[in-house]
Amino acid sequence: MTIAHNYLRTRVRLDNIVANYKHLCSFGGHVLAVIKADAYGHGLVETARALAGAGCDAFAIGSVAEGAALRQSGCAGAIVSLVGPVLPEDDAMVLDFDVTPFIHDFDQLARLAALAAGQGKKARVALKFDTGMARLGFCECDVPHLLETLRGMPAIEVVMASSHLATADDPNAFDFVGEQGSKFARVCQGLRDGGLTLEASLCNSAGILAHATDFGFEARRAGIALYGVNPFAGTAREPLGAGLVPAMETVTRIVSVHDLASGCSISYGRTYTAERDMRVAIVAAGYADAYSRGLSNRGYMCLAGKRVAIVGRVCMQLTAVDITGVDAAPGDVIHLLGGEGLGAITAEDLATWWETIPYEVFCLFGLNPREYC
Ligand SMILES: *Cc1c(COP(=O)(O)O)cnc(C)c1O
């Protein structure tokens, strides 16, 4: 889905995503590219093609339908769905489009096994275990019953076991990562002792950067770091994420430039009053363009390499910035994300200003018309 009829353009550097992928591969193991949610806003098909060209053979997506769309685009690699089938039509798509779903409960497993057996097909699945997220997954105590159940399901082929870390990017919570890792190691051992041959997958981006060597599980799921975000930015472990390069920038256009005299207020609610004579630019971006209203009076844009502050409330399709001292005219390009020099705005900056995480910034900015280079 793309927001139609606006001036925003989200530019994606696929070569930088590829460079990040290669960097993450250098930590070893089998790296699955997590391209769920339209590749975190960078474009599902474009991102998958670029990565496949660089040798990536396995992709993780967010739903079975997204996996089917990826398969239909011509993707030949393994497609793993991080959320498995929810509705009966999802079960059918698993088989029709050769998607390997995460399976998190017995009913889901039974439904898929019955459908696959009925069609004379084999369904490859990845078993999902909860080791501490308390979101989705079998628990450690389910392993014996799971093995027994699978023995009666010849149409199911288990190829992977996985679990997800809750605190991999928090250097103060590495103990919990260790607990999850130990629990998952016991689960995998139990499955293998029960005769299954599978890849084990625990680490996400932060796990790869900080913990992969502690565990040695063979498959790793790289998401946010593929898109150039250092999960440890601003923490004592920041150097762990060195070498990642951003791949997204978002620009828009200036609509109008005018003076704002000292004492005058600007925008809805009069939340900002000029304390000196200033010059403002009215920019074509607002919350309808996924430019959060939470940036009102807090965020910055980058104009000609300089940071310019948002003044007053972000409106539906317009936002005012203080450009005093910077030359600008209607039609000029202004960066919402990225930009030149010291004024460049990172996804981490935006996330801090609007009190979220870079993941959300990417997903939302990616809703705007995209360009690739
Ligand atoms: C999104 C997701 C990932 C990727 O996480 P990042 O922090 O972006 O690397 C890995 N595993 C699962 C289950 C996910 O949902």
Using the mean position of ligand 1's atoms as its centre, give its distance from the Cα of residue 61 in Å. 10
pTM of the shown model: 0.96
Residues 324, 327, 330, 336: is their CA dihedral positive or negative?
negative
22 an active-site residue?
Answer: no
> Closest Cα partner for 77 from 54, 111, 93?
54
The alpha-carbon radius of gyration of the chain (Å, integer) is: 24
Sorted by where each begins, the domain ranges of the chain are: 14-241, 248-345
CATH architecture of 248-345: Beta Barrel (2.40)
pLDDT tens per residue, range 99-129: 999 999 999 999 999 999 999 999 999 999 9
Q: CB within 8 A of 340, min separation 6: which ones?
A: 302, 304, 305
pLDDT score, position 213 = 76
Using the mean position of ligand 1's atoms as its centre, give its distance from the Cα of residue 275 in Å. 46
Distance between CA atoms of residues 181 and 168, nearest Å: 11
Pocket of ligand 1 (CB under 6 A): 34, 36, 82, 164, 204-206, 221-225
Specify the ligand 1 atom closest to the Cα of 208.
9
CATH architecture of 14-241: Alpha-Beta Barrel (3.20)
Helical H runs in the chain?
Answer: 14-25, 36-40, 44-53, 64-72, 88-96, 106-119, 143-151, 174-193, 205-215, 347-353, 358-365
% the chain with pLDDT above 90: 98
pLDDT tens per residue, range 135-175: 999 999 999 999 999 999 999 999 999 999 999 999 999 99
183 an active-site residue?
Answer: no
From the candidates 7, 36, 183, 227, give the one annotated as an active-site residue.
36
| Measured CA distances, 118 to 95, 111, 215 (Å) | 11, 11, 39
Q: What is the mean pLDDT of residues 24-28?
A: 95
Beta-ladder partners of 201: 162, 219
Using the mean position of ligand 1's atoms as its centre, give its distance from the Cα of residue 206 in Å. 9
Using the mean position of ligand 1's atoms as its centre, give its distance from the Cα of residue 116 in Å. 28
Ligand 1 pocket test, pick from 40, 80, 82, 227 with the greatest ligand atom count within 8 Å of Cβ, gives: 82
pLDDT tens per residue, range 317-360: 999 999 999 999 999 999 999 999 999 999 999 999 999 999 99
pLDDT level of residue 253 (50, 70, 90 thresholds): very high
